[in-house]
């Protein structure tokens, strides 16, 4: 008799679990899909919705770069190449080239963390595809640009204040040994 | 349709041509019309609908770019496959390899000849209708074995062998289920079976007695197995055998197999509707032939497409059974149960030769209760987990 | 060659078929290859052939600085990147005698448990897909998308995080992110129930997996299987419990062990259910961590040019695929002398040959999927 009960049990279990599974899939038919139909059927561009910490393609604000070469040293994959030369006329150092190879870049964020002013940082850009490999090397210096010298007592020139603040705001996202987390609400 | 052609000859349209030639040309034209204006778009739209239905069941949106709501996706796929290189492996058997898709295609296409879309809308009302369908759909086995063997590929061979075993085994429960209905209706002709039913649900053979109710599900499962649909899609199990017997096929040859599969879904639905759901029967609203024809066609189409939807739904839900479990399911469960239902129906017909209307009504109520329970369960699923928290806090 | 004696004096010779499953195959998890000798459906021998995804991550460790190597550890198993980060950082901290700040430890535990859930979601989803159920995979991926969004808010990346740094973590977890995580947990626990009802309790699924590819306790211990595969055989071994690290001694959680509920102990279904239960346990751990997280800095003070004194250390973490071990040797310079990564998937591959005798072709796929092997982890 136990073989018969086993038989009937098999049939009933199969039918009930299939019934349950089909109810679940049918219920999904009634729900909203979760697809974001990028790039054309979305209310605003995805770049505007990404958080500030998002590690997209690197960008450099040459106006506040001090030329300390910290990013070049710390990069684990040597994708940043910086050239600094002495400018004979102004007797100051200029950038001759600042290249980032974005196809080598690991998007690890170590260079952004090492930067003292926050001039090199990850942007929200992620669409970097192009038709030839030469386009994957971003050149941030087209003509020689002088190095930035941070002023004691803070920046005063209005044009630069905004840039410096953007850089510092980006650096603020990183955890540092002095920053106490969870203090706002506890 | 023969009466229509005879009428045309009597009206004097084809003077001087022998009658057989007129018949032959008329048959070819009818076949061409059915194939290109009904079957091809049907299989295509089924493929689009399958992808959309699966996608919504998986919380995503299916193809919705090509044409309004993506309805021309199948055309795009078809054209793309036509433009592909026709690749036949060097060591494959060329002629068998090329011939196999057509055999599979004919296997399902030839059934359209007898499917009754309306009381006057059938190409040929054979008096062995359902037997003809069972016989012709078995041709698919030959095609699949040819495909598996001629590809000269071990994977394809495995797929072909599995498929042959599967289809041949599941002919038995399908045949027994059909036999049950033939007992009840007394005729093998599809039009005859439909005319023996009524338009009201309790007059359908589905609710005729508890045995036919059970045998419907057995028939549907066996038909899914014959059509190589999940949970029985081992021959083309994508994740196990790469693509089973169609591994070496590419381009239009590949698409032919899937064309046959999607079209076969419709045939399954049509046969299920004919045998169990009362076919094209409509309430006696109108007598005007054209309107009646359109209504009957619509009713039949909707009923059979419902089962296509259920087949897609089942494929989205269930995992695949292993090939030895498939065999044990067939021989240990489905065949004995089909025999029990067959004998039960035979005994029922001895006791109540004209059928038992109160029991049919009661079965109809049972069916409604099952449906209500199902919908209640669906409501529970929707209330219990709120998966719309897909949590993009920014968009 | 096999011989089947048909009638007296008449013998049919049959031959075994040698197939190659992979390296391009939809269901070997990553680029793996198995050379399989079968007699029709039944497998005589299945030998794994690994190395298609070898990227010399261990050798690279000798050329980059200590801080610079952490992003490379992400890529050792990209589905469970946090754990590799943590393993290496634990070894480096021990060598450099750096004490991790408390808030940093909690952030690490939160990130790791989120990553564990994400990795197990992929594991059970692809498992269902290999068995033929295509829908649960998409549902699992939908939930993983939410976790990816959370990780994006925490550290800016969705797959290769470089979040756990030497001394703590790279970014702090703000209050807002904690609220998002709680919202996700409230929703996710219900989804796991729904997933179970759709897939785990399905009769066809159970029939496919019960009593299939059983790994006995002795085999598991002899072949050094770790992680959920080991726990499914009935052995209660979890690094978080037995060799505790980080904040796990203070947290309350169960270690799910296989019970042979639907078949034999140690079959594929047990391995699957252990992963589902681990996801539920991770939810518990996350709730506790969110409640217990103290204030404070999230990273300790570590010199830019990190030069630990000479020594060696073997750090172990409980990754989703088992016990991930980082054996790091330092010679006092700013580059490690040797980094050796030990992964659970690599040892699981060694077991495939023994278990695959006599199972069917479809069961081989179920076996590989149930072991949750991951090609990047095997080949590094």
pLDDT tens-digit profile of C41-51?
Answer: 788 888 888 88
Closest CA to C361 of C128, C36, C133: C36
Nearest to C187 among B59, B324, B389 (CB): B389
Euclidean distance between CA atoms C110 and C90, whole angstroms = 16
Structure confidence at residue B341 (pLDDT): 93
In chain C, which residues have their Cβ closer than 8 Å to the Cβ of A179? Answer: 172, 297-298
B56 to chain A: nearest residue by CA?
A29
Residues of C with CB below 8 A from A112's CB? none
- pLDDT, greater one: A185 or A90: A90
Cα C52 to Cα C380: distance, rounded to the nearest angstrom: 10
What integer pLDDT is reported at residue C10 of this predicted model?
Answer: 54
- Contact B55/A20, CB-based, under 8 Å? no
**Does the beta carbon of C19 lie under 8 angstroms from any beta carbon of chain B?**
yes
> Is the pLDDT at A41 greater than 90, yes or no?
no
Residue C21, classed as helix, strand or coil, is strand
Specify the pLDDT at position C151: 92
**Contact with chain C for residue A32, Cβ under 8 A:** no
DSSP letter at A179? P
- What string of DSSP letters covers B243-276? TGGGTT--HHHHHHHHHHHHHHHHHHHHHHHHHH
Residue A70 has pLDDT above 60, yes or no: yes
Of the candidates C19, C135, C138, the beta carbon closest to that of B154 is on C19
Residue C60 CB burial class (10 angstroms; 0-12, 13-18, ≥19):
middle
Find the closest chain B residue to C145 by CA distance. Answer: B390
Q: What is the mean pLDDT of residues B3-31?
A: 78
| pLDDT value, residue C81 | 92
For residue C1, the model assigns a pLDDT of 45
User: Are A51 and C174 within 8 A, CB to CB?
Assistant: no
> Nearest CA of chain A to the CA of B388: how many Å?
7
Q: Would you call A35 an interface residue with chain C, using a CB distance cutoff of 8 Å?
A: no
C280: closest CA of chain B, how far (Å): 15
Closest CA–CA distance from residue A155 to any residue of chain C (Å): 27
- Poorest-confidence range of A179-183, B370-374, C213-217, C244-248? A179-183
Q: Which of A20, A28, A177 is nearest residue C197 as measured by Cβ atoms? A: A20
Give residue-wise pLDDT tens across range C91-117: 999 999 999 999 999 999 999 999 999
| pLDDT band with cut points at 50, 70 and 90 for residue B394 | very low
DSSP letters for A62-76: GGG-----HHHHH-T
Determine contact: C27 vs chain B, CB below 8 A. Answer: yes
Placement of tokens 């391009």 in the chain? C24
Q: Which residues sit opposite C3 in a β-bridge? A: C13
For residue B333, list chain A residues with Cβ-Cβ distance below 8 A.
Answer: 7, 10-11
Angle B344-B346-B351 (CA atoms, 0-180°, nearest 5)? 95
Contact C185, B379 (CB under 8 A): no
* pLDDT 10s digits, C10-53: 566 667 778 777 777 766 578 888 888 887 678 888 888 888 88
CB contact set of B136 (below 8 Å; sequence gap of 6+): B107, B110, B111
Between A162-166, B277-281, B388-392, the lowest mean confidence (pLDDT) is in: B388-392
Q: How far apart are CA C352 and CA C46, in angstroms?
A: 7
Quick one: pLDDT band at residue B393, thresholds 50, 70, 90?
very low
- Chain B within 8 Å of A11 (Cβ-Cβ)? yes
Q: Which residues lie closer than 8 Å to B371 by C-beta, 6 or more apart?
A: none
pLDDT in tens, C175-186: 989 999 998 998
| Residue C97 DSSP one-character state | T
Q: What is the mean pLDDT of residues A8-25?
A: 91
Is residue A147 pLDDT above 70, yes or no? yes
Q: Tell me the pLDDT tens digit for each residue of B95-154.
A: 888 899 889 888 888 888 888 888 877 877 888 989 999 999 888 889 888 888 888 877
C-alpha dihedral sign at B165, B227, B192, B19: negative
Using CA atoms, how far apart are residues A150 and C345, in angstroms rounded to an integer? 51
User: Closest chain C residue to A52 measured between Cα atoms?
Assistant: C156
Least confident window among A88-97, C297-306, C335-344: A88-97
Contact across the interface for A106 and C160, Cβ inside 8 Å: yes
Strand partners, C48: C34
- CA C150 to chain centroid, in Å, comes to 20
Interface contact B372, partner A, CB < 8 A: no
Give the model's confidence band at B386: pLDDT under 50 very low, under 70 low, under 90 confident, else very high: low
Whether the Cβ atoms of residue A141 and residue A58 lie closer than 8 Å to each other: no
The band of C326, judged by pLDDT with boundaries at 50, 70 and 90, is very high
CB C162 within 8 A of CB C155: yes
Which candidate from B239, B316, B391 shows the least CB-CB separation from C135?
B316
The reply to whether C358 touches chain B by the CB within 8 Å rule is: no
Instruction: Please say if the pLDDT value at position C2 is more than 70.
Output: no
Average pLDDT, chain B: 85
Cβ-nearest to B392 among C133, C149, C183:
C149
Interface A-C, measured as beta-carbon pairs within 8 A, has a size of 120
Domains, chain C, ordered by start: 54-379 (1.10.645.10)
Average confidence (pLDDT) over A166-178: 87
3 state SS of C42: strand
- pLDDT > 90: percent of chain C: 50
Is residue C296 classed as helix, strand or coil in its secondary structure? strand
Strand partners of residue C14: C2
The reported pLDDT for the residue numbered C6 is 45
Q: What one-character-per-residue DSSP string does B291-318 give?
A: HHHHHHHHHHHHHHHHHHHHHHHHHHH-
Reference A108, options B164, C71, C223; nearest CA is C71
The answer to whether residue B368 scores a pLDDT higher than 80 is yes
Say yes or no to pLDDT of B239 above 50.
no
Residue with tokens 């740094």, as numbered in its chain: C165
Asked if C326 and C91 count as a contact pair (C-beta separation under 8 A), the reply is yes
């Amino acid at each position: 008799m136990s073989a018969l009960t086993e038989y009937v049990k098999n049939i009933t279990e199969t039918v009930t679990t299939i019934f349950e599974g089909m109810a679940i899939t049918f219920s999904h038919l009634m729900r909203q899909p979760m697809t974001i139909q990028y790039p054309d059927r979305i209310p605003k561009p995805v770049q505007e919705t990404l958080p500030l910490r998002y590690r997209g393609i690197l960008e450099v604000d040459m106006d506040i770069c001090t030329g300390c070469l910290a990013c070049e040293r710390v990069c684990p994959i040597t994708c940043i190449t910086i050239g600094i030369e002495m400018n004979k006329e102004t007797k100051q150092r200029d950038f001759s080239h600042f290249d980032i190879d974005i196809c080598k870049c690991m998007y690890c964020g170590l260079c952004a963390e090492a930067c003292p002013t926050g001039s090199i940082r990850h942007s929200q850009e992620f669409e970097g595809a192009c038709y030839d490999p030469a386009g994957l090397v971003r050149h941030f210096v087209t003509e020689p640009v002088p190095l930035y010298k941070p002023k004691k007592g803070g920046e005063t020139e209005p044009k630069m204040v905004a840039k410096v603040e953007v850089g510092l705001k980006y650096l603020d996202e990183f955890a540092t040994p002095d920053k106490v987390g969870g203090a706002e609400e506890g | 349709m023969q009466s229509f052609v005879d009428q045309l000859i009597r009206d004097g349209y084809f003077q001087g041509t022998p009658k057989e030639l007129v018949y032959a040309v008329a048959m070819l034209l009818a076949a061409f019309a059915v194939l290109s204006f009904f079957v091809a778009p049907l299989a295509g739209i089924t493929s689009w609908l399958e992808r959309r239905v699966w996608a919504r069941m998986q919380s995503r949106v299916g193809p919705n770019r090509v044409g309004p709501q993506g309805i021309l996706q199948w055309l795009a796929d078809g054209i793309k496959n036509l433009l592909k290189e026709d690749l036949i492996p060097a060591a494959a058997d060329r002629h068998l390899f090329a011939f196999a898709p057509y055999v599979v295609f004919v296997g399902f296409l030839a059934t359209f000849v007898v499917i009754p879309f309306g009381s006057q809308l059938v190409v040929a009302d054979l008096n062995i209708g359902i037997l003809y369908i069972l016989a012709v759909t078995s041709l698919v086995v030959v095609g699949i074995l040819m495909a598996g063997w001629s590809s000269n590929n071990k994977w394809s061979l495995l797929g072909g062998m599995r498929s042959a075993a599967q289809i041949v085994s599941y002919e038995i429960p399908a045949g027994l289920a059909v036999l049950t209905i033939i007992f009840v209706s007394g005729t093998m002709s599809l039009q005859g079976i439909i005319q023996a039913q009524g338009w009201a649900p309790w007059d359908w053979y589905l609710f005729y007695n508890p045995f036919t109710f059970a045998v419907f599900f057995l028939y549907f499962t066996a038909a899914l197995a014959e059509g190589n649909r999940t949970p029985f899609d081992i021959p083309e199990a994508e994740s196990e055998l790469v693509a089973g017997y169609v591994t070496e096929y590419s381009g239009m040859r590949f698409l032919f197999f899937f064309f046959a599969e999607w079209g076969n879904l419709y045939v399954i639905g049509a046969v299920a509707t004919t045998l169990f759901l009362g076919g094209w029967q409509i309430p006696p609203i109108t007598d005007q032939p054209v309107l009646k024809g359109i209504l009957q066609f619509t009713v039949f189409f909707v009923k059979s497409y419902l089962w296509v939807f259920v087949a897609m739904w089942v494929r989205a839900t269930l995992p695949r059974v292993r090939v030895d479990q498939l065999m044990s399911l067939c021989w240990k469960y489905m065949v004995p149960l089909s025999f029990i239902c067959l004998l039960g129906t035979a005994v029922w017909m001895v006791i109540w030769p004209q059928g038992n209307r109160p029991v049919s009504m009661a079965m109809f109520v049972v069916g409604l209760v099952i449906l209500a329970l199902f919908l209640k369960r669906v409501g529970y699923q929707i209330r219990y987990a709120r998966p719309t928290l897909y949590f993009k806090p920014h968009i | 060659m096999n011989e089947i004696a048909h009638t007296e004096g008449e013998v049919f010779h049959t031959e075994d078929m040698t197939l190659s499953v992979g390296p391009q195959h939809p269901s070997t998890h990553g680029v793996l290859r198995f050379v399989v000798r079968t007699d029709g459906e039944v497998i005589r021998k299945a030998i794994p052939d690994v190395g298609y995804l070898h990227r010399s991550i261990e050798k690279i460790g000798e050329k980059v600085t200590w801080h610079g190597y952490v992003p490379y550890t992400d890529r050792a198993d990209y589905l469970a990147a946090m754990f590799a980060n943590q393993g290496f950082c634990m070894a480096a901290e021990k060598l450099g005698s750096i004490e991790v700040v408390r808030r940093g430890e909690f952030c690490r535990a939160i990130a790791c448990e989120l990553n564990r859930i994400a990795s197990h979601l992929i594991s059970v989803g692809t498992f269902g897909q290999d068995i033929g159920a295509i829908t649960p995979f998409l549902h699992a991926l939908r939930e993983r998308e939410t976790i990816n969004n959370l990780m994006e808010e925490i550290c800016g990346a969705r797959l290769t995080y470089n979040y756990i740094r030497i001394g703590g973590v790279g970014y702090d977890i703000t209050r807002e992110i904690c609220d998002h995580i709680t919202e996700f947990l409230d929703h996710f626990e219900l989804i796991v129930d729904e997933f179970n009802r759709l897939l785990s309790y399905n009769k066809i699924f159970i029939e496919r997996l019960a009593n299939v590819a059983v790994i006995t306790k002795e085999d598991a211990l002899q072949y050094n299987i770790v992680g959920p595969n080991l726990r499914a055989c009935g052995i209660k071994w979890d690094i978080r419990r037995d060799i505790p690290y980080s904040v796990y001694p203070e947290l309350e959680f169960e270690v799910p062990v296989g019970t042979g509920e639907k078949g034999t102990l140690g079959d594929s279904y047990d391995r699957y259910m252990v992963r589902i239960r681990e996801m539920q346990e991770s939810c518990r751990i996350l709730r506790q961590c969110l409640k217990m997280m103290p204030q404070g800095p999230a990273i300790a003070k570590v010199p830019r040019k990190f030069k630990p004194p000479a020594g060696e250390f073997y750090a172990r973490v409980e990754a989703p695929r088992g016990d991930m071990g980082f054996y790091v040797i330092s010679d006092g310079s700013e580059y490690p002398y040797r980094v050796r990564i030990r992964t659970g998937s690599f040892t699981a591959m060694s077991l495939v040959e023994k278990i695959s005798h006599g199972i069917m072709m479809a069961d081989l796929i179920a076996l590989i999927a149930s072991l949750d092997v991951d090609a990047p982890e095997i080949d590094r």
